[in-house]
Structure 1
Amino acid sequence: MQLGQGPAGVVVTSADGFDSATPAAQVPAQSAAVPRATSPHRARRRRGGPGHSPALDRIAGLAARLLSSSSAQVSLLTEVQTVAGGAGLPTGVLGADTPLSESLCAVTAALGRPLVVADAEADERVAGLPPVTSGAVRSYLGVPLIADGTPLGALCVFNAQVHSWSESDINLLEQLAASAVAELELTALNVEAETSRLLWELAIEAGGVGTFDWDLASGKLSWDDRLVEMFGYRRDDFDESIEAFNARVHPADRSRVSQALQEAIDTCGVLEVEYRILLPEDTTRWVGARGRALCDEQGRSVRLLGAAYDITGQREVEARLGRVLESMSAAFYSLNRDWRFTYVNAEAERLLGRPREELLGGVLWELFPAAVGSDFETNYRRVMATNEPVSFDAYYPAPLNGWYELRVWPSEDGLNVYFLEVTARRAAQEHAEAAALRAGLLAEVSEELSSHLEPQAAAKRLARLVVPTLADWCVVSLAEDSAHADTARGLQDVATWHTEPDMAEVLERCSEQRLGALAAEVVLAEATSDRPVAVLSNAAATIAAEVQDAGTRQLLERLAPDAVAVLPLGARGRTVGVLSLYNGAERGPLSSAEQHTAREVAERAGLALDNARLYRQQRRLAEELQRAMFTAPPEPDHMQVVVRYQPATEAAQVGGDWYDAFLQPDGATAVVIGDVVGHDVVAAAAMGQVRTLLRGIAADRGESPAQILSRVDHVMETLQVGTTATAVLVRFEQSADERERGITRMRWSNAGHPPPMIINPDSTATVLAGVEADLLLGIEPRARRIDAEVILDRGATLLLYTDGLVERRGQSLEDGLNLLRDRPSSVRGSGSPTLAVASGHEGPDLLQSEVQAVLCDGVVAHRGRGQQQRPRQWGREAAGTSSACEPVSL
């Protein structure tokens, strides 16, 4: 339903549902307010005077909160619109009047049904209205306030943004509108009562009260002129006898009035009676009489003095009030100070479930014992004690079994109570909140489980997510890739969670024994089922019957499950696990909505767990593949070589980092470390090509590192390897003289790789960064490459590494080198020169290892063993030359 400004006034378009437009109906601007059949002062009376109503403010605030709207208001319509209540409104709006031609609520009242506007700015029929053009209203939902078939105004919510309204939104606002109408009706009652009181005072002031004096000894009854006139006599016609009085009393009331007179005379007490009199023109008048009997010395009544007054108007108002109370859609009753019912309207009679005859005169606490000690008693007694009204919501158990919204205010005689049954509204609110929780759970399951690459970690997180939203406690079981000794047919309980911390340990112990204690066919059924299995009641006994171990049965008895739902966690045609949801007797079985959510959770969890399983398999395969590319380190007599390889924590767990060590034909030891660009299987394959090329070329001749790298560059171009790589190639040489002096000559060439580091015997470290690195391999085969040379003392350590060791997020290369240089003792060896080769990606602390290795993708540590006898000679010394190199291998 939408509105706009047409040539003849406000244009209103109603719609079936939310947005399907039907032909527009034009409502003249002047008639967009309440129809002329409604008197203007009627809405004023229901408003209770000028300004606004706090009670209507509360209703508007509730509407704004429940419908997630920024603003809400209750508008009353007469010649103008008056905002009688609101929430989220600008200062000065409450109580203010605006023209009907500028009012969206006027259109709502004229339609007599909800007005729905999703996007006012985009609707040309609404764009011209001032609330829309000012930007205050972009979306609007209004419901008319109708009493006795006549619109009084509207309850509406609106936002400054586009918003679509649902059927449930409309229904909820209509329920709140009923509360607003009831509030206005109650206000009207108070206004009527006040009017009656003023009329009565005016009647007294105008001399409408007459007096009487009955001399009991002589029987003379004296009336003043007002009373004579009230009874329809002329002074000459009234014979001052009790018979003249009785002649005017209505026959139906005569006996009751006589009894009241006699009781006052017999007791020398008070007379208080109301009765009807019949006037000569066949009209009836209600009269109220108050008086007192005067006694002589013997205690006998001798006179009866008093006053009588016309209460016809009061009785008519009371009758009207009674009719209004009876026709109200809200329940209403009154209690005296003894907590007895003095009035009950028809709706209260219906909601309280007892006939009026039983309620009237009955004590509240006796008729409704469940109210004792509840919010009802607490609030009722507070109102009685403080004389201040209260509003609250409360639940009354069977036989009423419902939620009620109550307003209680004091009166001279006791309490007045107005209440509405809000069970449906409360249920709708709780349903919406539960649905939001379940939707949030599904989103959280998808987000949380997709971030876990280990199935067991994902299962533990799943257990915590579903409790307590779906169950009191749960068990998550995984189907292993292959059977293990501690599993039952490949099914293993890996995660549990309980709402009660005291029972968490019991549940964990039970899960450790559960599968082993269950009958084999039960476990097999869990592991192979492709649909949920549910036990709706007495689940403890059902499960215990299948448990073969007494200890496990005792644990089950302590857990006391009453209902259980077992859901398979499946994906890609296989069951990867089982989610078991348990509830105690207090919560009962899963509702249909919870079952639906549980199935969706199981589907998403199954896919996430299967992804984690596949990732684990892929990672294991990738690790084995990459490790298989590296040869096992040799063990020469004078050298110790230790290899440690720590894979990366991302992607497919493989990359282009590589290392190698071998002997050249002249006896020198060659060590190389490199990094092929990329971090995937393609990079690993390219790494294998480059490593093989370099190993074969270096092993063919006793060339220097620069010469070898140049040849590798040429061969890569010839074979069209099509990749780039960094590398540091080191060659160790040692003549007989250098061996006696305890030194080693190291030559190296760097193709764009992080610089080597020397850790001296005194634990100081030197980064070999003085020589500028050459171009990477695979870019320009004719690039000039140079050799650098350094002398190493006995006990020195050479550390080679890849960029992952020193380059991390948020850390510069210089900071990484400084960190590595400041921790030399972690990788330093002793005795003969030590070689350490490290390659890696980002990871944990990279300088912690028992083998003096650097933790990351991979580490090679090489330490000399001192002056041991070598089994054979290598290189030039073996060939009879004067120069020899200690063999170094990896």
Structure 2
Amino acid sequence: MDQRGQREHLALRTPPTPVGVDLLATAMQHAGTAMALLRRSGHLYSIDWVNDEFVAMTGYPQRAVVGRAPRDFFRENWSESAMLDLADSVSSGTKVDVTLPFARPDGGSLWLRLTVSRLPEDDAEGVERWVAVFTDKTDDVARDVSQLESIATERHARNGLAMLSQVSDILADAEHPAVLADVAALLVRSVARWAGFALVDDGLRLVHGISTGAVTRPPGTPPRSSETEPDEVAQLLTGSREGSVALDLRRTYPDASVSAHLQEQVLAENPELAIDPSRVAVLAIPGARRILGLLVVAPSDGQTLRDLDDDAPLLNVVVRRVGMAIENVRLYAREHQLADSLQRAMLPEQADIPGLDLWTYYSPNSGHAQVGGDWYDILQIRAGVAGVVIGDVVGHDVEAAAAMGQLRSVVRSYAFELTEPAIVLDRVDRLVRGMRIPRAASLVYATMTCVEDTWTFEYSRAGHLPPLLLRDGVVTQLGDAGGSLIGFGERPRSAGQVDLRPGDVVVLYTDGLIERRDRSLRAGLGALVAVAESITAPDAAGVGEELLATLAEEPEDDVAVVILRVPDAPGGVMRPGSSPRRRRWVLPSEAASIGRARHSVLRTCDAWDLGNVANAELVVSELVANAVLHGWGHVALRLFDTGDGLRIEVEDANPAPPVITEGHANGVGGYGVQIIERLADWGWRPSGEGKIVWAKLRT
């Protein structure tokens, strides 16, 4: 071993020189890490010493820290019980890490991580000595907070999108009577304590659904005096103010103001809002041209209107979507009303033909369509002569309906002037060629003439399917007098004729009754003939019901049917068999329909051999009269044999329920429902377009 190696060997075997206290203190002072010495005596804690790095980090001089309790600097999150748990852990020799906000002398704070350990020896008085090392974690905490806020913002946005998706799902069924109540309930689950929609429907009022009625000006007008405080809610309704306004439910507003009216509506709906939160937010529901109503939102428990500002974008989208739904519903209602008016104008106001049992039926293929290209008409030309026409215009659109209306008018005009079917169609051909009607059309025009109690059926066809004659279980196709479509007749039209006997039935129909995609028109006609041969019904309505029940359960086109039946001779024999025990009629909303309904009930009770006819006639008269007087649209009459009596149903397009009154003190009428109550069990139910009032006669 050389000399250098001997020296290194001796150095390794030589114990280090002990470090003095002063040197250790100097080392701690310049360690580059904030440090402090703490003491614990029972439940009392104090700071004995801090180094310069601690002073630089916290901003406190040593004299402002030494001798004070740690709780003075950690007051924001100080917890005696938590400090006791921490102290017990340190006293047991466990090193403890904890991050707390530390109060700076300038009022700010920093987040410090404390690593606290107990020194191994206590002093003579049993006081514990602790050493604490501080690390500044303010930037880390700020970054964590930013991430949490970002996550919260993202979650809030995601929840908002989910809620808007649910709002859209609810508004997809905008005609539901509680659609707005459902949207309000969704807002309550998401952002509000209470929410409600007030629409401008015959005055500003809170509603659960979207009305299709006329929109009128809301009650109350904005104060115009310069000395009066402007009505902010009224400004929302007029569109002169945007955003949201606060409505104070405890304040007294002027009686004529919109704010007072809305305040009354809200408190009537939820009186507790006057106590808490007392102030609600009001947002306008915009339409394309005007404000349609208001959304009222009460903040959730423990929140104020300012807290709703974060949800303002969400609420604005909600009111815009609700506004679009309202306008769509009302636009559809206007179109529906227009279509209904078109239907009432074009479909016939059927005349009763004395001496004939008559039944008609019309149904458009599409549920939303109010009128299609199929049509029929029944005319009382003069005493003993009736005109009957049934036709089909190609198409199912407005143009087809317009062409149908033109043809109907032309045929009516010539029918009253000329009567004879072949001549009528000749004249119609000439006029239609000049009118340049853009749609092809087929039709059958016929007359029913009675001479000395014998009816003659004379007809002419323009490209239309042949009428059927039902006689004693045998069906004959009246295929004579055929010709080209209307407007294409180059040669004079011909006519066919047949004398009718008591009990004979003539069926006129459009191709929608028999046409199907899976069979030819000839096969469909064969099916119609087969069904007609098996009919046993003793009345025109029964014949029609049997045809519809077998052939028109799921039609693929518009269907129109006219049944003409010559009543049986007195003492005639009814064919054995059974027919559907139900009947239906569609009647125009006019006073003459009341008499027609009575005649229909009389014929039905006779066909079904039912008693109690007088009561049935009185009940149906009152039901149809109420529908004509108080409803709108066509009146549908339905009769059912329930096995223990007659059930009568009358449908109209007015959804308002029937009302029992005490009658008119100084006039006639007003007792209809009371009469029905004495003779039948009755009730009502909503229908797709309006309501159905039913009555079950007591036996």
How high is the TM-score relative to the length of structure 2? Answer: 0.49
Larger radius of gyration: 1
What's the TM-score once normalised by structure 1's chain length? 0.40
